[in-house]
Amino acid sequence: MTNTNKKQLQIELDYTHLWKLLIDRQKKKEDLKRDAGISSASIARISKGENVNTETLLRICQYLSLIHT
């Protein structure tokens, strides 16, 4: 028996701090795309406040030296 009344969790994402970090470090979206290997589609999703996968977030954090792996 399957439950068809599943609730979907909706989270509003805010990437404002990401854009501020890029500006503070004099980087552009194109730099992020090229240097961190982020796709144009992922940049577009981030720009719209949409979900991106954790691999993309990890690459961004590594690019900005927010984490070390």
pLDDT digits (tens, 9 = 90+) for 6-54: 777 777 789 999 999 999 999 999 999 999 999 999 999 999 999 999 9
Which residue in this structure is represented by tokens 């719209």? 48
Helices and strands (H and E) in the chain: how many: 4, 0
Those residues with Cβ within 8 angstroms of residue 38's Cβ, 6 or more apart along the chain or in another chain: 32, 56, 59, 60
Instruction: Please report which confidence band the pLDDT of residue 3 belongs to, taking 50, 70 and 90 as the band edges.
Output: low
Give the per-residue pLDDT at 1.
Answer: 56
Which residue in this structure is represented by tokens 């070390």? 68
State both tokens at 24.
């503070």
With 0-12 / 13-18 / 19 or more C-beta atoms within 10 angstroms meaning exposed / middle / buried, residue 57 is middle
Give me the residue spans of the domains in the chain: 16-63
